[in-house]
Amino acid sequence: MRLLLAFTAGGLFGTGLFLSGMTDTRKVQGWLDVFGDWDPTLAFVMGGAIVPMAIAWRLTKGRKPLVGGSFPAPATGKAGHRLILGSVLFGMGWGLVGLCPGPAMASLAYGGWGGALFLLSMAAGMLVAPKLAVQLDRMAAKA
């Protein structure tokens, strides 16, 4: 049941990314390109996705997940340097080629060698992240 639900959720995610055009790097870079031919599509995707999710969060109140266990508690702690610096690095990479993790996975079938290379590089980046985070902690402590 758990796996079937996970596959369904992933399938919906992949379907939505495909239909919305978010696996097209031109549309994503177009959203970020406010000085060029600006493309507002991403805002509609974000807005559309937030509606069912907001309803889902409301539905979690007083309930338990279908497969048991408990719902994830809100992340505690403030928006610290890891959150901000990590997001800045992510945003730079995102702007550079127009891919983020979801679409990178969803477009594997038609992304060609470039898409596969991006996924591999992303995995490598994930492996160095813990070391980088410690480095950033040191820098933040000095600053």
Partner 1 sequence: MQADWIWGLAGGLVIGLGGAVFLLGNGRIMGASGIMGGLVDGTGRNTAAERLAFIAGVMLLPMVLMLFLPGKAATHLTSNAALIITAGLLVGAGTRVANGCTSGHGVCGISRFSLRGLTATVFYILAGGLTIAVLRHGLGVI
For the segment 1-40, give every residue that binds partner 1 (CB under 8 A): 2-27, 29, 32-36, 39-40
55 vs 142 by CB, closer to partner 1: 55
Out of 69, 139, 141, 142, the residue judged to bind partner 1 by CB under 8 A:
69
Q: Are 42 and 22 in contact (CB under 8 A)?
A: yes
Give the number of C-alpha atoms closer than 13 A to the C-alpha of residue 15, restricted to the C-beta side: 6
- The terminus-to-terminus CA distance of the chain in angstroms comes to 49
Restricted to residues 73-112, the positions that interact with partner 1 (CB under 8 A) are 74-75, 77-79, 82-112
In the complex, the smallest distance separating the C-beta of residue 107 from partner 1, rounded to whole angstroms, is 5
Restricted to residues 119-138, the positions that interact with partner 1 (CB under 8 A) are 119-130, 132-133, 136
70 touches partner 1 by CB under 8 A: yes
Sign of the alpha-carbon dihedral angle for 27, 98, 111, 126: negative
Helices (H), 21-40: 25-32
